[in-house]
Amino acid sequence: MAAGGRRRKGVLGLVPWRGLFVLAVLVTVFRVFFCNILRVPSGSMEPTLHGDPTRGDELLVVKPWYRIWDPERFDLAVFERHGDDVKTEERVAVKRVVALGGETVRVDRGDLYIAEKNGAEKRLEKSRGEFKELLVPLWIEPFDEMTSERLLAQDDSGTTYGRDGIVLMSATEESGLLQLASDAVRFDDGWLDRRGVVHEGENAVKDVCFVLGFEPIDASVCIAFEFTSGGDQLRYLIVPRAPGHALEVTRTTVSDGAEFPESTRFRQISPGKEHDLEFWQIDGRVGFAVDGRVELDVALPGGAKVVSAGYDVRDVSLRVYHGSARLTKFEAWRDLHWDSDDGNFGVREPFEVPEGTCFVLGDSSFQSVDSRHFGAVPLADLVGLPLLIVGPSGRRRLLH
């Protein structure tokens, strides 16, 4: 017994066993009324959520969320399905909200077309803040013994490969060139899982983002990054311009050679420091970011081109000149791509989402039974917001 004859207090100022009992009651009440654990049963949300009846991701679902706030576009939502034709294991599902009540939605060749209330239909253009959380990995360079067969040096002078990256150097614009091998990555609606296994897709994608880990060795080094997507050739040129750098992006239309340049200034890329450089063409917009800071984000004149069958992202290359630099990361990501070959609602004809409902799609389009098949989901049927993955341990992360 504690000094003075008093019993030592525990949780909530109570004696230990009573405090633990109160805590257990509070946790139970919180769990019953505010949260739930849901195991993802199917692969309809791959790769965002792994689905399996016994080994799928376990989600912490905040139940009152959609009783307080209405869903927003691209939110994840857990909901209940009703009807005699709904299987027991499919009654509780998780999908992504893409259109809201009062809007009209159409899915065409992987793209979303939205007409807001009393507005004209427009191809959805996501800001970087929106698409960043929706990107799907296509390829991540491991820098192993096969790197030189995927990232091809076009000259032997000054290019060295190692497990910590590739060093490129050139005094002129005629060397210091790396090209991504044409068979290194398939630019389709497949994805790369955490084990490095490629899950091949069926349709070409044009909405891509490249992420490069780049460490300048010399302050004078210049960078040129290029790729072709659909009917557009994009060239990003970065050169030192005191007190920082200048960026020029040129889109050249492959069919007629017409050029559309954009330019901006940004803060210096510091020698001896590794930076993340992002280059993208997504939803008809091109952009560039340094260490997560957006430096350019503009719409292409005339919008994005429609990609036909085949792997239409090609001719990916990186060049450094007037100095040297180390490449420590080379990644390719794609935007979400929704299939429009199947389904009844919002596929062949625009679908008007009724008030008090939302239109949901699965991230893994071909595996997903969603609003294309069963229509809009009443807001009253939304069970809650998936906040985080709580298991298995290697998958734990926040979802919002």
Give the model's pLDDT for residue 5: 47
Query: What's the pLDDT tens digit per position in 368-378?
Result: 999 999 999 99
Give the model's pLDDT for residue 31: 57
Q: What is the DSSP string of 208-256?
A: EEEEEEEEESSTT-EEEEEEEETTEEEEEEEEEETTEEEEEEEEEETTT
Q: Is the pLDDT of residue 126 over 70?
A: yes
Query: What's the pLDDT tens digit per position in 137-192?
Result: 999 999 999 999 999 998 766 789 998 899 998 877 667 899 999 999 999 889 99
Give the model's pLDDT for residue 170: 83
The highest-confidence range among 25-29, 215-219, 256-260, by mean pLDDT, is 215-219
Q: What is the dihedral of CA 189, 190, 191, 197, to 10 degrees?
A: -170
Q: What is the DSSP string of 266-278?
A: E----TTS-EEEE
Q: What is the DSSP string of 61-82?
A: EETTHHHHS---TT-EEEEE--
CATH topology of domain 130-334: Jelly Rolls (2.60.120)
pLDDT-based confidence at 328, cuts 50/70/90?
Answer: very high
The residue type at 158: G
Q: Which DSSP symbol is given to 140? A: E
pTM score, two decimals? Answer: 0.85
Give the model's pLDDT for residue 226: 96
Give the model's pLDDT for residue 2: 47
Give the model's pLDDT for residue 372: 95
Q: Do the domains at 40-125+341-398 and 130-334 have one common CATH topology?
A: no
CATH topology of domain 40-125+341-398: Umud Fragment, subunit A (2.10.109)
Query: What's the pLDDT tens digit per position in 8-35?
Result: 455 445 456 565 655 555 555 555 556 7
Q: Which residue has the higher pLDDT, 272 or 260?
A: 272
Query: Cβ neighbours of residue 295 under 8 Å, at least 6 residues apart?
Result: 247, 264, 266, 288, 289
pLDDT, the chain, mean = 85
What does the domain layout of the chain look like in residue ranges?
9-34, 40-125+341-398, 130-334
